[in-house]
């Protein structure tokens, strides 16, 4: 069972797409931030302010990264990185659990 120790958790959730995507922020002592979230089945588009490393902990989804024409299929666990100031699309086929790391350069 993986866990983050000595962190701060923001109590209130972030809610998107009528609750089909929700997350909570985890703040680390070094000033970095991650969110732990859940995506229910559906099609979504997200924008990034910084580099985002999306770790899929469990689920089934396809991702279309910016500038790409091929969807990448992740079943179970996986990871992809999204550049800053871009948009990416997701087709979520089954409830997906994720951890997103925000990288400011």
Binder of a second copy out of 19, 47, 66, 83 (CB under 8 A): 19
The CA–CA distances, whole Å, from 39 to 6, 17, 63, 69 equal: 26, 10, 13, 23
Question: Judged by CB under 8 A, how many residues of this single chain contact a second copy?
Answer: 29
User: With 0-12 CB in 10 A as exposed, 13-18 as middle and 19+ as buried, what is 43?
Assistant: exposed
Q: Does 69 bind a second copy (CB under 8 A)?
A: no
Binding mask 72-101 for a second copy (x = CB under 8 A): -----------------------x-x-x--
């Amino acid at each position: 069972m993986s866990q983050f120790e000595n962190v701060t958790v923001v109590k209130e959730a972030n809610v998107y797409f009528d609750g089909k995507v929700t997350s909570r922020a985890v703040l680390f002592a070094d000033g970095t931030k991650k969110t732990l979230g859940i995506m229910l089945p559906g099609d979504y588009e997200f924008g990034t302010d910084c580099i985002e490393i999306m770790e899929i902990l469990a689920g089934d989804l396809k991702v279309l990264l910016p500038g790409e024409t091929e969807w990448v299929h992740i079943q179970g666990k996986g990871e992809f990185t999204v550049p800053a100031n871009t948009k990416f699309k997701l087709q979520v086929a089954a409830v997906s659990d994720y951890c997103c790391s925000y990288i400011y350069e």
